[in-house]
Amino acid sequence: MAVDGTAARSAAIALLEAVLDEGQQLGQVLEAADGPLKPLSPSDKARAQRLVLTTLRHVEQADKVLKPFLRKSPPALVRHALRLGVVELAVDGGAAHGVVNAMVDVVRHGNRTGHMTGLVNAVLRKVAALEAPFAKLPPQRMPQWLRQPLVHTYGREAVSAMEAVQAMSPPLDLTAKAAAPEIAGAIALPNGSTRLPNPSQVSQLPGYAEGDWWVQDAAASLAATLLDAQPGETVLDLCAAPGGKTLQLAAAGAKVTAVDISGPRLARLHENLARTGLSATVITEDALHWQPETTFDAILLDAPCSATGTLRRHPDLPFIKDGSEIADLEALQAALIDRALGFLKPGGRLVFCTCSLLPEEGEAQLAAALARHPQLTVEPPILPGIDPAWITDQGGLRLRPDYWAEIGGMDGFFMARLRLPAAG
């Protein structure tokens, strides 16, 4: 007879193997029709997802705690079961007997790991006897390929502060269609977003079914706020999926065209448009080859990037990336900026943004764009809730995970608003 919680924990361990051993992106594994979550109940699916996310945020600490108790590295299933068990004990405060018994049960039913139940039992009982196993350990570090340039750019203290935020389970941010939603425990953020520090199932929250709001990190919402779309304006959301910014622009009364290369990712936008009652023209095309029939008053370009600003929500990324893709992304970002400018009316404005912490994908892109297009002007951001210290010398906006750290932080972003000269 299986121990209570074994199904969710087994699925979480399979997800850890997919990310840590096979280099798969967690989101894709979670959405796979034949993935580890397929046979689970909704509650077990939610539990497995929470367990794997928490463990990925604390792999480094778990390994340090386990090291004195292991003479050699055990097989993958056992290694991940131990990591998961340590994280449950140290972070979740799980009852020792329940965690130990569940992990022993997982290993007992594993392929050729049944003989290692004694090891798992002994090690986790020793860990359970420790007082606050992670208390004296620093937060998990970002990989060296990312940490080193960030330390050079922001300083060691700032990077450590970012890592502290990335180690926490992130809150849930909502962007309202009109009035801020009234949800128990919610706090109003300085930019107008609503934050739930302890989120529950999204679809059960007040206002979801009515389409009163959508999920969107507060930092991401600032890009559309910076564009400042006006009622009746023609606005292009380029690289639009999953569509939070499209919804913002439509809610402002603009006539929005949303373009993205990924049909599956645009499916979420279609769902949210239907739920919120907002409208936009949605086009599945490669922005580098698509040609609009007319020009636009304003364009929002959220360009593909390394996503290094989103590690607090996507802790799998440090384990599946090595930075080798950044040079190609930089070239793509520059090409998209140049192409987007060709879609603007004279006097039109473009907001360029990336959810990256790397200057190459932000400040350096802005500098290069200004060098290529000397007619452009940068319009510094005047936004609610923005600390003037976040505005760069060029007039861009640099956001970091450690900003608003006391209330849960934010995603890392760079954004800038550029304007073409008027005709004549």
| Helix, strand, or coil (residue 141) | coil
Show the tokens assigned to 270. 């279609």
Domain span at residue 106? Answer: 6-128
Identify whether 213 is part of a domain.
yes
Residue 4 has a pLDDT of 65
Residue 383 has a pLDDT of 93
Pairing outcome for strands 194-196 and 172-176 = antiparallel
Over residues 95-115, the mean pLDDT reads 92
In a shared domain, residues 297 and 194: yes
Amino acid at 363: E
In a shared domain, residues 203 and 269: yes
In a shared domain, residues 55 and 113: yes
What is the DSSP track for 110-132? STT-GGGHHHHHHHHHHHHTSSS
Identify whether 143 is part of a domain.
no
In a shared domain, residues 241 and 337: yes
Question: For the chain, how many structural domains are there in total?
Answer: 2
The answer on pLDDT for 344 being more than 60 is yes
The answer on pLDDT for 5 being more than 80 is no
The answer on pLDDT for 58 being more than 90 is yes
> Angle 96-108/117-128 helices, nearest 10 degrees?
160
In a shared domain, residues 11 and 123: yes
Residue 3 has a pLDDT of 55
Domain boundary among 93, 128, 163: 128
In a shared domain, residues 204 and 112: no
Give me the phi and psi of 225, to 5 degrees please: -60, -40
Q: Give residue-wise pLDDT tens across range 10-26.
A: 999 999 999 999 999 99
Show the tokens assigned to 269. 């936008």
Whether the CB-CB separation of 194 and 386 falls below 8 Å is answered with no
What is the DSSP track for 43-111? HHHHHHHHHHHHHHTTHHHHHHHHGGG-SSPPPHHHHHHHHHHHHIIIII---HHHHHHHHHHHHHTST
In a shared domain, residues 88 and 196: no
Report which of 355, 370, 343, 334 is spatially closest to residue 401, judged by C-alpha positions. Answer: 355
List the CATH number of the domain containing 336.
3.40.50.150
| Helix, strand, or coil (residue 389) | helix
Q: Give residue-wise pLDDT tens across range 365-417.
A: 999 999 999 999 999 999 998 999 999 999 999 999 999 999 999 999 999 99
* Cα(52)–Cα(50) distance, integer angstroms: 6
Is the pTM value of this prediction over 0.85? Answer: yes
Pick from 28-37, 84-93, 124-133, 149-158: least confident: 28-37
First to last CA, the chain: 80
Identify whether 156 is part of a domain.
no
Identify whether 17 is part of a domain.
yes
What is the DSSP track for 282-337? EEE--TTT---SS-EEEEEEE-----GGGTTT-TTHHHH--STTHHHHHHHHHHHH
The region that residue 175 occupies, defined by phi over 0 for left and psi between -120 and 50 for alpha, beta otherwise, is beta
Residue 1 has a pLDDT of 40
Identify whether 357 is part of a domain.
yes
In a shared domain, residues 75 and 15: yes
What Cα–Cα distance (Å) separates residue 11 from each residue in 5, 20, 113, 166, 365?
Answer: 10, 14, 16, 23, 41
Q: Give residue-wise pLDDT tens across range 285-310.
A: 999 999 999 999 999 999 999 999 99
The answer on pLDDT for 357 being more than 80 is yes
* Cα(25)–Cα(317) distance, integer angstroms: 7
* Cα(176)–Cα(179) distance, integer angstroms: 6
Domain boundary among 128, 161, 190: 128
CA 20 to chain centre: 18
In a shared domain, residues 301 and 392: yes
| Catalytic residue numbers, as ranges | 355
Banded model confidence at residue 33, pLDDT cuts 50, 70, 90: confident
Identify whether 186 is part of a domain.
yes
Domain boundary among 97, 128, 159: 128
In a shared domain, residues 123 and 177: no
* Cα(72)–Cα(198) distance, integer angstroms: 38
Q: What is the DSSP letter of 420?
A: P
Report which of 302, 374, 363 is spatially closest to residue 337, judged by C-alpha positions. Answer: 302
Whether the CB-CB separation of 215 and 199 falls below 8 Å is answered with no
Identify whether 14 is part of a domain.
yes
In a shared domain, residues 402 and 302: yes
The answer on pLDDT for 277 being more than 60 is yes
Evaluated on CA atoms 240, 243, 249, 250, the torsion sign reads: positive
Identify whether 150 is part of a domain.
no
Mean pLDDT of the chain: 95
In a shared domain, residues 50 and 191: no
List the CATH number of the domain containing 98.
1.10.940.10
Show the tokens assigned to 307. 């996503």
